[in-house]
C-alpha cells in the first residue's frame, strides 16, 4: 500500500499513494492529525494528573498515551486505516466503559462527548455496519449503568475517582475540538469528493464525445477503404474481362502451337490476377462484416463432386493421386447451408494441397460424424503428402497476406489470403479449424460443421437417357437464337460480338438499361444478357421493368446478369430483381453457353 514508508517514517506524504481513493485519503489524514490531537490532549491531562499524584488515573492516562503512540507509529509505517480505526474504537470503548463502571462510576459530560466521538468516528471510518455495532457497544452499557445508578443498586468495592476542575475543562475542550475536527474533516472530504465526481462526469462526457467521433472516423475510413476496393476491383475486372475474353477467342481460332503456348501463359496470368482481385475483395467483405450466409438446400455429395472435379484433373496433371471419399450416407441427404461458401473453403484447401505437393496423394474426406433427425455434424478433412509446415508457423499462415516463408512466395506465388479467408469464414460459423503438419511429410486441415437437414424426401430425378450425337449437336446449336445484350463497355461489346459470331448467334446491343427495355418492346428476343452497372439505368432496374411489360412473352424473356463485382452477395440481388441466372465477368465462353442452353435449350429442341 505505502510507497516507500520505512519503519522510521513520520510523514503523512509518504503513506498516501495514488491507489488511495479520495475518501481513503481523508480517512488516513483524519487518523494522522486526530492521533496528534488526542496525543496532545491526553499528554496535558496526564501531566496534570501526575502532579496531583492520582496514581490510578495517571496509569490509565499513561496506557492511553502509549497505545496512541504505537498506533501512530503503525499508521505511519503501514497506513492500514481499517485496522487502526478498529484498534482506536476498541481502546476508546474500553476507556469509556472502565471510566463509567469502575473509575468514576458516573456519567458526565466527558462520557457523553466520548460516546459521541465513538459514534461519529465509527460511522465515518468504517461504515454503517461497524458504526452501529460500536455505537450500541458504548450506548447500551452506559444506559444500563444510568438505570442502575438511578435505582442506587450499582455498588462496587472501589472508591470512585474525581477529577479536578482544570482537568475536566481541558478534557471537555479537547474532546470538543476532536468532535469538530472529525466532523469538519469529513464534511470537506465529502464536498471534494462530490466536486471530483462532477469533474469526472464532465471529463467522461468529453471523452465519450472524442471516442464517438473517433469511432465515426474509423467507420468512415473503413467504409472508404471498402468502397475503394470495390471500385478498384470493378475497374480491374473490366479490362481483365477483355483480356481473358480475347484470349479465349484467340484460342478458339486454331492458333499455331507456339501461339497457343503464349496464349496459355496469358490466360493463366490473367486468371491468376483475377483470383487475387477476388481474394482481396472477399477478404475485405469478411473484414467489414458484409458477409451474409445463405441457407440453401443442397446435396453435399454432388457439391463435393463439383468442387473436386476440376481439381482432380489438375492433381493428375501433376502426377498426384487424388482421393475423394464422401460418406455414402450423405448421398440421399439434403442439407441446408451455403454451398458457395463451402465451395470457397474446400476449393482453397484443395488448391493449396495440390500447390504444395510434388508427389504422393491428396485426400479429401467427408464424413457424417453425428446423424440426428434434423441435424447432421459433418467432418471435412483435406490431407496431402506435400512440403508440410513448420510447427512454429502453424498459427501465422492463417494471418492475412502471410505465407510460411519468402521461399514459398518465390517458389509458389500466391497472396497469403486463402487461409485467412477460410479461417474467418469458419469462425463466422463458430467453427474452429485444426491443422496438423510435418515438414517433408504433409499436412492435414480438418474441421467439423453442423448443418440442419431437410426432412423432406429427396425427389427422384427422372432417369435421363443418353442423348444421341445429333441431339447433342442440336442442343449445342445456338444459331437460331436471337440475343439482346445490354452492355455499356465497348470492349466487352466487341468481345461478345466476336464470340456470338463464332456461335452463329443473332445479337443486338443496347448501351444502357433504358435502351434495352425499348429494344425488348419492339424486338423479339429469346434471351437477354444484362450488364449490371450501366449509365442511365442499371441492370437491376431494367430487369424489373422488363418483368412488368404487358406482353407476357416479353415480360418472361429469360435474363442472365453479367456481373463484374464479386459474386457472393450479388446473387440474391440478381434473383430478387427477377433475373434467371448470372455469370461473373470475365466469363468462360463454355459457362455462358451452358447457362444460355439451360434457360432456352429445352424450347429450342422442340422448335
Ligand atoms: P497462398 O496459398 O496464397 O500462399 P494461403 O493463405 O492459402 O495463401 O496459405 C498461406 C501459407 O500457408 C502458404 O503460403 C503456405 O506457406 C502455407 N500452406 C497452406 N496450405 C499448405 C499446405 N497444404 N501445405 C504446405 N503449406 C501450406
Task: Verify whether ligand 1 is closer than 6 Å to residue 349 (CB atom).
Answer: no
- Three-state DSSP state, 69: helix
| Of 193-207, 269-283, 385-399, the least confident | 269-283
Higher pLDDT, 541 or 412: 541
pLDDT band per the 50, 70, 90 thresholds, residue 471: very low
Q: Is 408 in the pocket of ligand 1 (CB under 6 A)?
A: yes
Q: How far apart are CA 18 and CA 46, in angstroms?
A: 38
pLDDT band at 110 (very low <50, low <70, confident <90, very high): very high
The 10s digit of each residue's pLDDT in 70-97 is 999 999 988 889 999 999 999 999 999 9
Residue nearest to atom 12 of ligand 1 (CA): 397
* The predicted structure's pLDDT at residue 604: 42
- Alpha carbon distance 94, 87 (integer Å): 11
Cβ–ligand 1 distance for 72 under 6 Å, the answer no
Strand segments, DSSP code E, in 334-493 are 335-337, 361-371, 375-384, 434-438, 442-452, 482-486
What pLDDT, on a 0 to 100 scale, did the predictor assign at position 566?
Answer: 52
pLDDT in tens, 333-365: 899 998 888 988 999 999 999 999 999 999 999
- Ligand 1 site, residue 384, Cβ cutoff 6 A: yes
Residue nearest to atom 19 of ligand 1 (CA): 352
Nearest residue to 358 via CA among 324, 327, 389, 320: 320
- Examine the pLDDT at 413 and tell me if it is beyond 80: no
Q: Which atom of ligand 1 is nearest to the CA of 417?
A: 6
Burial 171-201 (b: 16+ CB within 10 A, else e): beebbeebbeebeebbeebeeeeeeeeeeee
Q: What is the CA radius of gyration of the chain?
A: 45
pLDDT band at 457 (very low <50, low <70, confident <90, very high): low
Ligand 1 pocket, mutate which of 278, 389, 394, 417 (most atoms under 8 A from CB): 389
> Within 10 Å of residue 404's Cβ, how many Cβ atoms?
20
Q: Is 247 in the pocket of ligand 1 (CB under 6 A)?
A: no
Sign of CA dihedral 231, 236, 239, 241: negative
416 lines ligand 1 (CB under 6 A): yes
403 CB less than 6 Å from ligand 1? Answer: yes
Q: Do the Cβ atoms of 105 and 56 come closer than 8 Å?
A: no
d(CA 282, CA 279): 5
For ligand 1, mutation pick of 282, 286, 352, 425 (most atoms within 8 Å of CB): 352
Cell triple for 212: 464517438
Q: What is the mean pLDDT of residues 252-257?
A: 83
pLDDT at 32 (0 to 100): 93
- Distance (Å, whole) CA 103 – CA 123: 27
The per-residue pLDDT for 565 is 60
Closest CA to 58 of 36, 43, 38: 43
Candidate from 348, 397, 398, 441 with most ligand 1 atoms within 8 A of CB, to mutate: 397
User: How many angstroms separate the Cα of 475 from the Cα of each of 245, 457, 560?
Assistant: 23, 32, 19
List, in sequence order, the alpha helices (H) in 318-445: 339-355, 406-412, 418-428
pLDDT band at 409 (very low <50, low <70, confident <90, very high): low
Query: In whole numbers, what is the pLDDT of the chain averaged over residues?
Result: 85
What's the gap in Å between 416 CA and the centre of ligand 1? 7
Whole-number Å distance, alpha carbon 415 to ligand 1 midpoint, is 9
CATH 3.30.565.10 domain extents, the chain: 294-454
Pocket lining: 422 vs ligand 1, CB cutoff 6 Å: no
Considering the chain, tell me which residue range(s) the CATH 3.40.50.2300 domain(s) occupy. 469-605
Give tens-digit pLDDT for 547-556.
888 888 888 8
352 within ligand 1 shell (Cβ under 6 A): yes
pLDDT band at residue 468, thresholds of 50, 70 and 90? very low
397 touches ligand 1 (CB under 6 Å):
yes
User: 415: Cβ below 6 Å to ligand 1?
Assistant: yes
**Cell 499513561, residue located:** 62
pLDDT at res. 47? 93
pLDDT score of 50: 92
Q: Which residue, 388, 381, 379, is CA-closest to 445?
A: 381
Ligand 1 lined by 447 (C-beta under 6 Å)? no
CATH class assigned to 469-605? alpha beta
By DSSP bridging, strand 559-563 and strand 581-584 are: parallel
Q: Is 418 in the pocket of ligand 1 (CB under 6 A)?
A: yes
In whole angstroms, what is the distance from residue 317 CA to residue 302 CA?
23
Distance from Cα 351 to the centre of ligand 1, integer Å: 9
Q: List the one residue out of 275, 205, 284, 270 whose CA is nearest residue 241.
A: 270
| Grid coordinates given for 262 | 503464349
| Rounded Cα distance, 546 and 408, in Å | 51
Cα-to-centroid distance, 348 and ligand 1 (Å): 9
The predicted structure's pLDDT at residue 88: 95
Orientation of helix 539-547 relative to helix 513-522, angle to 10°? 30
pTM: 0.55
pLDDT tens sequence across 153-204: 888 888 898 888 989 999 999 999 999 999 998 899 889 889 988 999 999 9
Question: How far apart, in whole angstroms, are the C-alpha atoms of residue 606 and residue 206?
Answer: 75
Which grid coordinates are listed for 240?
Answer: 481483365
Q: How confident is the model at residue 600 (pLDDT cuts 50, 70, 90)?
A: confident
- For the domain covering 294-454, report its CATH number: 3.30.565.10
Closest to 421 (Cα-Cα) out of 439, 449, 408, 402: 402
pLDDT computed for residue 459 by the predictor: 54
Closest approach atom of ligand 1 to CA 402: 10
State the pLDDT at residue 519.
86
Q: What is the pLDDT of residue 20?
A: 77
Amino acid at each position: 500500500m505505502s510507497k516507500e514508508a520505512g519503519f522510521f517514517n513520520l510523514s503523512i506524504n509518504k503513506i498516501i499513494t495514488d491507489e488511495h481513493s479520495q475518501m481513503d485519503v481523508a480517512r488516513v489524514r483524519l487518523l494522522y492529525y486526530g492521533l496528534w490531537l488526542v496525543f496532545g490532549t491526553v499528554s496535558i491531562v496526564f501531566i496534570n494528573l501526575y502532579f496531583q499524584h492520582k496514581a490510578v488515573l495517571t496509569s490509565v492516562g499513561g496506557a492511553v498515551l502509549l497505545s496512541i503512540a504505537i498506533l501512530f507509529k503503525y499508521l505511519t509505517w503501514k497506513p492500514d486505516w481499517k485496522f487502526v480505526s478498529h484498534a482506536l474504537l476498541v481502546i476508546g470503548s474500553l476507556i469509556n466503559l472502565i471510566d463509567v463502571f469502575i473509575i468514576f462510576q458516573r456519567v458526565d459530560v466527558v462520557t457523553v462527548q466520548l460516546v459521541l466521538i465513538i459514534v461519529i468516528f465509527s460511522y465515518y471510518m468504517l461504515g454503517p455496519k461497524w458504526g452501529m455495532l460500536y455505537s450500541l457497544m458504548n450506548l447500551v452499557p452506559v444506559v444500563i449503568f444510568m438505570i442502575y445508578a438511578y435505582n442506587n443498586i450499582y455498588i462496587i468495592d472501589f472508591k470512585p475517582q474525581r477529577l479536578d476542575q482544570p482537568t475536566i475543562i481541558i478534557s471537555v475542550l479537547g474532546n470538543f475540538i476532536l468532535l469538530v475536527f472529525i466532523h469538519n474533516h469529513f464534511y470537506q472530504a465529502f464536498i471534494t469528493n462530490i466536486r471530483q465526481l462532477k469533474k469526472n462526469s464532465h471529463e467522461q462526457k468529453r471523452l465519450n464525445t472524442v471516442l464517438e467521433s473517433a469511432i465515426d472516423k474509423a467507420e468512415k475510413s473503413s467504409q472508404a477503404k471498402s468502397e475503394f476496393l470495390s471500385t478498384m476491383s470493378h475497374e480491374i475486372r473490366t479490362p481483365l474481362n477483355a483480356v481473358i475474353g480475347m484470349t479465349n477467342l484467340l484460342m478458339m481460332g486454331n492458333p499455331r502451337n507456339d501461339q497457343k503456348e503464349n496464349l496459355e501463359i496469358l490466360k493463366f496470368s490473367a486468371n491468376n490476377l483475377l483470383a487475387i482481385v477476388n481474394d482481396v475483395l472477399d477478404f475485405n467483405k469478411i473484414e467489414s462484416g458484409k458477409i451474409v450466409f445463405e441457407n440453401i438446400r443442397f446435396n453435399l455429395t454432388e457439391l463435393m463432386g463439383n468442387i473436386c472435379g476440376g481439381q482432380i484433373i489438375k492433381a493428375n496433371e501433376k502426377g498426384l493421386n487424388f482421393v475423394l471419399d464422401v460418406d455414402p450416407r450423405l448421398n440421399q441427404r439434403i442439407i441446408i447451408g451455403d454451398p458457395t461458401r463451402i465451395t470457397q473453403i474446400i476449393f482453397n484447401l484443395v488448391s493449396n494441397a495440390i500447390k504444395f505437393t510434388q508427389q504422393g496423394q491428396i485426400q479429401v474426406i467427408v464424413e457424417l460424424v453425428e446423424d440426428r433427425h434434423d441435424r447432421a455434424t459433418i467432418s471435412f478433412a483435406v490431407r496431402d503428402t506435400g512440403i508440410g509446415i513448420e510447427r512454429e508457423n502453424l498459427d501465422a499462415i492463417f494471418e492475412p497476406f502471410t505465407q510460411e516463408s519468402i521461399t514459398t512466395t518465390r517458389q509458389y506465388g500466391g497472396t497469403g489470403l486463402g487461409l485467412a479467408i477460410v479461417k474467418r469464414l469458419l469462425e463466422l460459423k463458430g467453427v474452429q479449424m485444426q491443422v496438423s503438419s510435418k515438414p517433408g511429410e504433409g499436412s492435414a486441415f480438418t474441421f467439423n460443421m453442423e448443418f440442419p437437414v431437410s426432412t423432406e424426401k429427396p425427389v427422384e430425378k427422372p432417369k435421363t437417357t443418353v442423348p444421341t450425337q445429333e441431339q447433342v449437336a442440336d442442343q449445342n446449336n445456338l444459331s437460331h437464337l436471337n440475343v439482346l445484350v445490354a452492355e455499356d463497355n465497348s470492349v466487352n461489346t466487341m468481345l461478345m460480338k466476336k464470340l456470338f459470331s463464332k456461335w452463329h448467334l443473332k445479337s443486338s446491343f443496347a448501351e444502357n438499361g433504358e435502351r434495352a427495355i425499348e429494344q425488348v418492346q419492339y424486338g423479339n428476343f429469346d434471351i437477354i444478357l444484362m450488364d449490371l452497372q450501366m449509365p442511365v439505368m442499371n441492370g437491376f432496374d431494367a430487369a424489373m421493368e422488363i418483368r412488368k411489360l404487358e406482353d407476357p412473352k416479353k415480360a418472361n424473356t429469360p435474363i442472365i446478369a453479367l456481373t463484374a463485382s464479386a459474386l457472393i452477395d450479388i446473387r440474391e440481388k440478381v434473383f430478387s430483381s427477377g433475373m434467371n441466372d448470372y455469370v461473373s465477368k470475365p466469363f468462360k465462353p463454355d459457362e455462358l453457353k451452358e447457362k444460355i442452353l439451360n434457360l432456352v435449350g429445352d424450347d429450342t429442341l422442340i422448335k
